[in-house]
Amino acid sequence: MPAISASAPGKAILIGEHAVVYGHPAIAVPVHGVSARAAVTPAIKAPPGEVHIEAAQIGIDADLGALPESDPLAAAVRAALQALGLIRPPALNVRVSSTIPIAGGLGSGAAVSVAILRAVSAFLGHPLNDEQVSALAFEIEQLHHGTPSGIDNTVITYARPIFFVKGQPPDFLQVAKPFTLLIADTGVATPTREAVAAVRAAWQANPPRYERLFAQIGDLAIQARSAVESGDIELLGPLMDANHEILQQLEVSSPELDKLVAAASQAGALGAKLSGGGRGGNILALVEPDRSNTVSDALQSAGALSTIVTTVDKK
């Protein structure tokens, strides 16, 4: 059996995080400049059934059987084997690597799951289709995120901009005109699970206030869809700014995020907001392509650990 590898991109949420968990629409885009990769090779000397997983960046170098149920990489390998009905697969090695920052709201967990599901199933001769990959990656997300909306696994599996509503099939955006986003990392890693749980507790304490804010975010996502699909990109900036303000009211922003959002706007970005679970992680700024260096420099001066430029197009 020849070696097989698969990769999956990162993602950013253009509009709609948190509200999407409560059934409102959101827009997510793939970030092709960063990716997770899984490479599967035959383990020639090992007995059948032996699966070895190596992920040097997170210190994993172990047999599948030695990894706990809760380990997300092991869960993805087990999910692929189970989907194929294989209890004793031929011996194999799975090597995982990623350039997506961990716990930064760029979908590193879902991308690793998608890459593993694809590489392991293809290596074993039965590549899972996108629908299967997305559904299994969602189950793995549930192990770690509690109540994920499903937006991460969907945009990462299909690697296309989507208008996402929880529980509904993917609805791809018709991007009329490509646009440029700059992603800047605060360097503060925060598990999405905690931010989602905090919003849930606040919603339970005051449902009318939070439902109003979620509905406002959903409206912004609908307006952003028409801006993207009509090519009126300049309309998108103010929608992102408005989304950030509501995320501040949801108390998922932080001084570091607010500082980067302000720096991006001052340097000429058309709009900026936090992206993902918040309380740390990344911001997203909409920029004219010829201003991306200027805005990137301003973000680095304001404390960004790193920046990524990405173009959103149909694919």
Residues engaged in binding ligand PMV (CB under 6 A): 13, 17-18, 20-21, 105, 107, 145, 148-149, 151-152, 192, 196, 276-277
Q: How far is the CB of 302 from ligand PMV (least distance, A)?
A: 21
Cα 239 to Cα 30, 119, 160, 221: the distances in Å are 19, 38, 21, 8
- Position closest to ligand PMV via CB: 276
Which is catalytic among the residues 152, 185, 219, 290? Answer: 152
As a whole number of angstroms, the distance between CA 259 and CA 277 comes to: 17
Residue type at position 113:
S
152 catalytic, yes or no?
A: yes
Nearer to ligand PMV, 148 or 271 (CB): 148
Cα 21 to Cα 135, 218, 249, 301: the distances in Å are 17, 11, 17, 34
Q: How far is the CB of 294 from ligand PMV (least distance, A)?
A: 27
Q: How far is the CB of 230 from ligand PMV (least distance, A)?
A: 26
Q: How far is the CB of 275 from ligand PMV (least distance, A)?
A: 7
Q: How far is the CB of 70 from ligand PMV (least distance, A)?
A: 18
- DSSP code of 124? T
Q: What are phi and psi of 237, to 5 degrees?
A: -55, -55
The Cα angle at residue 299 between residues 292 and 20, in degrees rounded to 5: 85
CA 95 to chain centre: 21
- Specify the 3-state DSSP secondary structure of 187: coil
Nearer to ligand PMV, 147 or 293 (CB): 147
As a whole number of angstroms, the distance between CA 149 and CA 106 comes to: 15
Nearer to ligand PMV, 51 or 162 (CB): 162
307: left (phi over 0), alpha (psi -120 to 50) or beta: beta
CA 110 to chain centre: 7
Q: How far is the CB of 48 from ligand PMV (least distance, A)?
A: 37
Nearer to ligand PMV, 237 or 281 (CB): 281
Please name the residues in contact with 161: beta carbons below 8 A apart, sequence gap of 6 or more.
Answer: 14, 27, 28, 29, 30, 155, 172, 173, 175, 228, 312, 314
Cα 119 to Cα 39, 96, 99, 113: the distances in Å are 6, 10, 17, 10
Sign of CA dihedral 156, 219, 21, 181: positive
Nearer to ligand PMV, 18 or 273 (CB): 18
Nearer to ligand PMV, 9 or 148 (CB): 148
Q: Which residues are catalytic?
A: 152
